[in-house]
Structures are given as structure tokens and as C-alpha cells.
């Protein structure tokens, strides 16, 4: 590991995004998602499942108030197991003093406040900030004196706290609280929530670790690992980094903590211990020995992100090697061409290598988001364009597909092939929706899209002492402090529709330093033109070093041909089929353009030069569509089975639109892979 290349995202105040493509998405999040989400957190959306989130915080806060008032006379609630999701018998009249919703519902607030933070950093909004401050007051009021803050146990009784770390998401809620608190602090400078998060982190640090008297547990659903590294970065408190490293290193050690914990629960409940699939939790063996991406895909990439963070912070090469192996497992064996991951809905998990079914894909939006997290952290250690290519692929396809073009509905699952009849009539596809949903009871994806979209700047650029890295060509303005001064880089770019970008430098005085630009894998012979700077290329990045002056310009010419793909033959699902990409965008055929029965289409011309690229004004914003020479099989009569013959086909033009834009024009079929 060459830590001279290590880098980190820029401080919020040093990046402003002005990119048309991303600005539109960020504005959707700001205007649609964040306000809507606040309503759902408060159970005020009539036709959406209640979140119960803020209600739970209020209930927990009332308990803290009662405790303060009554002092030692206060009898805390006795623990009652309320199930994974507790719902009131009469939803219109929930009982006072009860916890409702999924037991990880606290995290809804945390993801929301994180998105609010990013949004405020790009677009100040005093009204929104006031609402956020009010929410923070409620959340902080729910915190216990010792720092503990998980409303499920505060309300249901603390006796059983930390008795089921495998399933009950306390450290997941903790991790998200930290992430949200850091983002809100970084955006606003307000530290009330950050202080609460630190108090909770101190509590966790005091209770977990290898030291005598501490629990040897670790998160069932990972996220605390990367959150703690962030908390360390913002506070400088080394104990947080150590705690993150402990969680990473303890995971999967023998004897297995989750199994020990289950044995204790089983004994206390007088039942035999139940077997759990430890792969689901990435806890089957120590993380350095894990060589295949396994189990719940979101948990997995959250863990790997935390591993990469710890590896970078501690310059831990063997941990980074484990990250590289797991990256290989994903990118070379388990990645959809849409940047999605998770082949099976059973356990929302990775399937076995090369098992990438299209119609029953899980490809959860949150998993693609987690892959973006993981990819940027790998880039932070090792600026290699292969990581950035996958990050961009996930971002422009599955992450964006998760949200409707009007920001009002969401996909949890992102299939690569959809037949609405099958979605309606086939229970095996119960997890696949062919129309985006307004909200989910288990609402992880919409707020996750909100926080990622609002923070795209954190993925586009990273820096270290002497280098500013451009990973994504997201137009905007970036300020970089070098040893001898500060420069501002104004980036404009045609991405994702045109393969050009231009960076213009502003500097009051000449500044020495290196600007590094990613050479995207989707481009043929990308060229970087800049006069008077030394240029070297390494691992898909062009490094321009020299003295930068006002008006210096870097021109990037990244030819963006249509590409037609075959999958590795081990992907049985895609044998004899092709998919189309152009730049970072994966395309798909929709019924709206091509009629129904997309399985009858065949691509008859594999020469990408024969594909027509057109501007398309069909959607809410201008996009590009591809016109492909193809054929359509003409169905023949003859019964369920008939004598085989060469198919009768007619010539057609197949229209392809960006995958992220699918299902914005009513119900219909969709497919990414087409027969050829």
C-alpha cells in the first residue's frame, strides 16, 4: 500500500455541484424526497405505511423526562419482546407509551438528517434547518443518561438490550445516528446531535471490545464500522477508530459471538438453539479470510466499506488485500451490468458466482449504494479507474433507477427484465415490482437514495496533500488547498451523454500541485490535453503536475461509443444475449417503445457503429436513446408445441432508453438483455 496515494473526500464547503444532470436529482431530493420523508417520519402521509419513527423518539423522550422528574422512584419499563415489527391493533389509535414499527426504525431519522445535512451544504434552507433542529431536540431528549440511544429497548425495557446483536440492529441504528450526526455537523457546524452521537459512541466503546468485562460482540447489520471511522475523522478521537477496527477484526472469530449469544437466548427461553446462516451476516469466519462476497448484499458492502476505511486509516495491508479479494468476487463474478448486486431475494443476498438472474434479480437499491461506498473507499486507498468505473456504473444505473424521475416513488428491487403479467401472477416474483412504490414500511432505500444523491460531490472528488482527484465528471466548482496556495477548479462536462469535460483553473497566484483525472473504462482512447504540465498515466488516472495559473484549462476528450456486451458464458441466464451501454449508462428496451413480448426481439447487428444515437425528449429531462437494427420473431400458430422450424422474423428498429429511466411511462415490459 502506497499511502502517498491515499485520499479523502473534500470538505463540504470546498465543493459546489452545478451539474445539470445531478443538480436535477439533488433538487428532486431537496424538494420532494426530504419533505415527503419528514411527513412519513411523522406518520402524516395518509396512503403510506406509518414509519412510527418520530413517535418512538417522542415516547422514549417522555420516559427520560419522567425519569428525571421522578428520580430514583422511577421504575423503567420491563422488557417485552415486541417482535421484529410491532404494529398497533388499531392503526388509527395506537397505544401511548408503546414502540411501533420495525425495531430499526430509529435509523429512518438518521438517514433523513444525513440527507438534510448534505442538502443544506449545497443549498442553504433556514426553514428546513429549523425543522431538522427541532427533530434533533426530540432525538437527543430520548437519549439515556449513560448515552444509550435506541428507542426499541428504551421503550420496551433495557433488560434485553444487547442480547441479540445478530438480529436486533442496535449497532445499526447507532451507526446511522453517527453518520447523520457527522453530516449535519459538517454542513451546519451545529454539534448537538454530534455530541449525542459521541456519547452513544463512548457508551458502545465502554461496553464492547476484547478487554476484560466487555462484550465481544459486533454489529449484526454493519454500518457502525464506517461510521466510527468518520466520527474519528471529524473528532480526532482515536478510540473511535480503535472501536471500528475492533468490530472489523472481531467479526467471525471463533467461538462465534452470534452463536454464543443464541445459545444464551435459547437457554433462557428453554428451547434448543437455532442454527443461523452465518454467511448471511458475513460472520462465518474472520473477515481477512473471507474470499467470496456472501450473504445479505447491503450488509456485505457496508462491512467491506468499513474494512477499507480501517485498512486505510491503519495502513493495514492484509485487510486491504481482503478488500481486494472481495472486490474481485463482486466485480468479476457477481455484478449486474446495471451496477446492481444481489442475485437472490432469499436473504436479499449475493447468489453464487455468475448466478445473475434477470427477472428475479434482487439488486437492491441500497446494495448498489453500498457498492458506491465501497468503491470510493477502495479509490481512497488506491486510485484505480476500475473502482471508479464500477462506482459510476452503480450510480448512473441502479441507484438512479431506485427513484422515479419525479422523485415521488421508489424501487427497492431493480430487476433487469420485467413482465408485468408475471409480477402480478407469479408469487415467486413477489419481491419484484414493475411500478415504483410511494414508500415502504421498511424504508431503507428512499432515504439512502436521498443521502447519496445529495452527497454526490463526496464521490466525484477526493484529495490528498498534493493531489486533487476527479473520479466522476460531475460539473461543479472545487476548491483545493495545496502547500503553496489554493486553486479553484471549475468543471464542466457532458457526462453522461457526451464524452467531453473541461476543467478551468482559477488561482490568485500560481499554485504547484497535481490534478488527477480518471480515464473512464467506457471510453476509447480518452485524451487529456493541457499545456505545460507533466502528464503521466497510472491505473487509469492521468496525473497532471505543474504550476497552475489562472485560466489554465484541462480538456478531456473521452470518446463515448455505444458498446454491445456479451456476458461470460458462466452467466447461464445471458447466454445468446447482448446488452448495450454508452458511457456510464446501461440501456434497456421498454414496452412503451417496442411493444409487448420483448422476448421476441432479436438484435441482428452486433456492430456498435450501426447503432443510432439520438437525443430523446420523451422523459422529464433530455436523455439519449439508441436505435438498434433488430428483428422480431413472429409468433406462429400450431398449439403449445409444434414442429420446430427456423423462426419467422420481421425487421424492426429496437429502441433502447437509459435503464435508470425505465418504468416512468406506465406499466410495461422491460429488458436489459436482448437475444441476438
Nearest CB to a copy of itself, comparing residues 65 and 606: 606
Query: Side by side, which strands form the sheet with 541-548?
Result: 8-9, 461-463, 467-470, 511-518, 541-548, 534-538
* Closest separation in Å from C-beta 655 to a copy of itself: 18
Which cell numbers in the block locate residue 156?
Answer: 420496551
Question: Can you tell me whether residue 646 is helix, strand or coil?
Answer: coil
Identify the CA nearest to 161 among candidates 263, 78, 74, 99.
78
| Cβ neighbourhood burial of 275 (10 Å; 0-12, 13-18, 19+) | exposed
Cβ closer to a copy of itself: 105 or 419? Answer: 419
Q: How far is the CB of 455 from a copy of itself (least distance, A)?
A: 28
Min dist. Cβ of residue 272 to a copy of itself (A)? 10
Nearest to 367 by CA among 388, 389, 336: 336
Outline where DSSP puts E strands in 456-540: 461-463, 467-470, 476-482, 485-493, 500-506, 511-518, 527-529, 534-538
In angstroms and rounded to an integer, the radius of gyration of the C-alpha atoms of the chain is: 26
- Which three-class secondary structure string do you get for 265-292? HHHHHCCCCCCCCHHHHCCCCCHHHCCC
Query: Whose Cβ is closer to a copy of itself: residue 258's or residue 522's?
Result: 522
Task: Provide the minimum distance between the beta carbon of 288 and a copy of itself in the complex, in angstroms, as a whole number.
Answer: 24
Q: How far is the CB of 563 from a copy of itself (least distance, A)?
A: 7
CA distance 284 to 269: 25
**Residue closer to a copy of itself (CB basis): 107 or 419:** 419
Which residue, 263 or 422, has its beta carbon nearer to a copy of itself?
422
**551 contact partners, CB below 8 Å, separation of at least 6:** 504, 505, 506
Kindly state the smallest distance separating residue 386's Cβ from a copy of itself, in Å. 10
Contact 95, 42 (CB under 8 A): no
Phi first, then psi, for residue 312 (nearest 5°) are -70, -45
* 480 DSSP β-pair partners: 487
Q: Which residues of 49-74 are buried (b: 16+ CB within 10 A; e: fewer)?
A: bbbbbbbbbbbbbebbeebeeeeeee
Give the contacts of 208 (CB within 8 A, at least 6 positions apart): 214, 215, 216, 217, 218, 243, 246, 247
Question: What whole-number distance in Å separates Cα of residue 465 and Cα of residue 205?
Answer: 31
Q: Return the C-alpha cell found at 465.
A: 496533500
Provide, rounded to whole angstroms, the least separation between the CB of residue 249 and a copy of itself: 28
CA distance 572 to 355: 7
Single out the catalytic residue among 348, 392, 573, 669: 348
Residue 602 C-alpha cell reads as: 432479436
Q: What are the C-alpha distances in Å from 312 to residues 241, 379, 388?
A: 11, 10, 17
* Smallest separation, CB 458 to a copy of itself (Å): 27
Is the CB of 256 or the CB of 417 nearer to a copy of itself?
Answer: 417
Q: Which is nearer to a copy of itself, 277 or 536 (CB)?
A: 277
The β-bridge relationship of strands 534-538 and 101-102 is unpaired
Phi, psi of 586 (to 5 degrees): -90, 140
Least gap, CB of 354 to a copy of itself (angstroms): 8
Q: How far apart are CA 24 and CA 469, in angstroms?
A: 24
C-alpha cell at 279: 454467511
Q: Which residues of this protein are in contact with a copy of itself, per CB under 8 A?
A: 331-333, 335, 337, 344-347, 351-352, 354-355, 360, 419, 421-422, 425-428, 563-572, 575-576, 578-579, 597, 599-600, 606, 633, 635-636, 638-647, 675-676
Closer CB to a copy of itself, 257 or 336, in the complex: 336
Q: Is the dihedral of CA 14, 19, 22, 23 positive or negative?
A: positive
Query: What count of residues does the chain have?
Result: 676
* Minimal distance, residue 269 CB to a copy of itself, in Å: 16
| b/e code 485-516 from CB counts within 10 Å (16+ = b) | eebbbbbebbbbbebbbbbbbbbeeebebbbb
- Which residues does 651 contact at the CB level (< 8 Å), separation at least 6? 604, 629, 630, 631
The least distance separating a copy of itself from the CB of residue 399, rounded to whole angstroms, comes to: 19
With respect to a copy of itself, which residue has the nearer C-beta, 71 or 639?
639
Choose between 510 and 608: whose C-beta lies nearer to a copy of itself: 608
C-alpha–C-alpha distance, residues 348 and 295, integer Å? 8
Whether 348 is catalytic is yes
Cα–Cα dist 114/129, whole Å: 12
Shortest CB 606 distance to a copy of itself, Å: 5
Of 140, 323, 423, 444, the catalytic one is 444
Q: Which is nearer to a copy of itself, 466 or 596 (CB)?
A: 596
Measured in degrees and rounded to the nearest 5, phi and psi for residue 488 equal: -115, 130
Q: Which is nearer to a copy of itself, 18 or 566 (CB)?
A: 566
Positions annotated as catalytic residues are 348, 444
Amino acid at each position: 500500500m502506497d499511502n502517498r496515494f491515499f485520499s479523502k473526500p473534500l470538505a463540504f464547503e470546498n465543493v459546489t455541484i452545478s451539474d445539470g444532470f445531478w443538480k436535477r436529482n439533488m433538487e428532486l431530493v431537496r424538494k420532494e424526497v426530504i419533505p415527503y420523508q419528514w411527513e412519513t417520519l411523522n406518520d402524516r402521509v395518509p396512503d403510506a405505511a406509518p414509519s412510527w419513527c418520530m413517535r418512538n423518539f417522542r415516547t422514549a423522550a417522555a420516559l427520560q423526562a419522567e425519569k428525571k422528574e421522578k428520580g430514583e422512584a422511577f421504575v423503567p419499563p420491563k422488557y417485552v419482546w415486541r417482535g421484529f415489527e410491532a404494529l398497533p391493533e388499531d392503526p388509527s389509535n395506537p397505544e401511548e407509551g408503546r414502540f411501533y414499527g420495525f425495531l430499526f426504525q430509529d435509523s429512518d431519522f438518521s438517514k433523513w438528517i444525513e440527507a438534510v445535512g448534505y442538502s443544506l451544504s449545497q443549498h442553504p434552507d433556514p426553514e428546513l434547518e429549523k425543522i431538522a433542529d427541532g427533530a434533533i431536540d426530540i432525538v437527543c431528549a430520548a437519549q439515556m443518561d449513560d448515552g444509550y440511544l435506541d428507542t426499541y429497548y428504551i421503550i420496551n425495557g433495557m433488560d434485553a438490550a444487547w442480547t441479540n446483536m445478530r438480529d436486533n440492529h442496535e449497532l445499526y441504528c447507532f451507526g446511522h445516528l453517527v453518520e447523520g450526526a457527522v453530516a449535519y455537523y459538517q454542513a451546519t457546524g451545529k454539534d448537538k446531535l454530534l455530541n449525542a452521537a459521541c456519547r452513544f459512541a463512548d457508551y458502545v466503546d465502554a461496553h464492547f471490545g476484547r478487554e476484560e468485562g466487555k462484550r465481544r460482540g459486533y454489529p449484526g447489520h454493519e454500518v457502525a464500522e464506517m461510521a466510527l471511522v468518520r466520527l474519528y475523522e471529524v473528532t480526532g478521537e482515536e478510540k473511535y477508530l480503535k472501536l471500528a477496527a475492533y468490530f472489523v477484526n472481531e467479526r467471525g472469530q471463533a467461538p462465534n459471538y452470534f452463536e454464543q449469544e443464541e445459545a444464551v437466548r435459547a437457554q433462557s427461553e428453554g428451547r434448543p438453539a437455532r442454527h443461523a446462516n452465518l454467511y448471511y451476516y458475513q460472520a462465518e469466519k474472520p473477515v481477512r479470510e473471507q474470499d467470496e462476497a456472501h450473504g445479505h448484499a447491503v450488509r456485505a458492502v457496508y462491512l467491506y466499506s468499513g474494512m477499507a476505511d480501517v485498512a486505510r486509516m491503519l495502513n493495514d495491508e492484509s485487510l486491504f488485500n481482503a478488500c481486494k479479494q472481495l472486490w474481485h468476487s463482486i466485480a468479476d463474478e457477481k455484478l449486474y451490468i446495471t451496477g446492481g448486486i444481489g442475485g437472490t431475494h432469499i436473504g436479499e443476498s449475493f447468489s453464487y458466482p455468475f448466478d445473475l438472474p434477470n427477472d428475479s434479480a434482487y439488486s437492491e437499491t441500497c446494495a448498489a449504494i453500498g457498492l458506491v461506498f465501497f468503491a470510493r473507499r477502495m479509490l481512497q486507498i488506491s486510485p484505480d479507474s476500475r473502482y471508479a468505473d464500477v462506482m459510476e456504473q452503480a450510480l448512473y444505473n441502479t441507484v438512479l433507477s431506485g427513484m422515479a424521475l419525479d422523485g415521488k416513488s421508489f424501487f427497492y428491487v431493480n430487476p433487469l427484465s420485467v413482465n408485468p403479467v408475471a409480477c402480478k401472477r407469479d408469487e415467486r416474483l413477489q419481491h419484484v415490482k414493475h411500478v415504483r412504490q410511494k414508500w415502504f414500511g421498511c424504508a431503507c432505500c428512499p432515504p439512502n437514495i436521498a443521502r447519496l444523491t445529495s452527497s454526490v460531490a463526496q464521490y466525484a472528488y477526493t484529495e490528498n496533500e498534493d493531489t486533487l482527484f476527479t473520479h466522476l465528471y460531475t460539473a461543479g466548482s472545487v476548491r483545493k488547498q495545496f502547500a503553496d496556495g489554493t486553486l479553484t477548479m471549475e468543471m464542466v462536462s457532458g457526462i453522461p451523454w457526451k464524452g467531453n469535460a473541461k476543467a478551468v483553473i482559477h488561482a490568485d497566484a500560481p499554485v504547484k500541485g497535481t490534478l488527477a483525472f480518471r480515464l473512464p473504462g467506457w471510453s476509447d482512447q480518452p485524451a487529456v490535453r493541457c499545456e505545460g504540465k507533466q502528464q503521466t498515466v497510472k491505473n487509469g488516472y492521468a496525473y497532471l503536475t505543474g504550476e497552475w495559473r489562472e485560466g489554465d484549462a484541462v480538456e478531456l476528450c473521452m470518446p463515448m461509443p455505444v458498446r454491445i456486451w456479451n456476458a461470460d458464458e458462466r452467466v447461464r441466464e445471458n447466454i445468446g444475449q447482448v446488452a448495450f451501454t454508452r458511457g456510464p449508462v446501461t440501456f434497456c428496451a421498454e414496452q412503451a417503445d417496442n411493444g409487448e413480448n420483448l422476448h421476441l426481439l432479436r438484435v441482428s447487428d452486433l456492430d456498435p457503429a450501426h447503432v443510432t444515437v439520438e437525443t430523446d425528449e420523451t422523459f422529464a429531462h433530455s436523455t439519449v436513446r439508441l436505435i438498434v437494427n433488430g428483428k422480431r420473431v413472429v409468433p406462429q400458430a400450431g398449439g403449445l408445441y409444434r414442429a420446430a422450424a427456423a423462426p419467422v422474423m420481421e425487421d424492426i428498429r429496437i429502441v433502447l432508453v437509459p435503464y435508470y429511466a425505465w418504468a416512468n411511462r406506465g406499466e410495461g415490459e422491460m429488458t436489459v438483455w436482448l437475444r441476438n
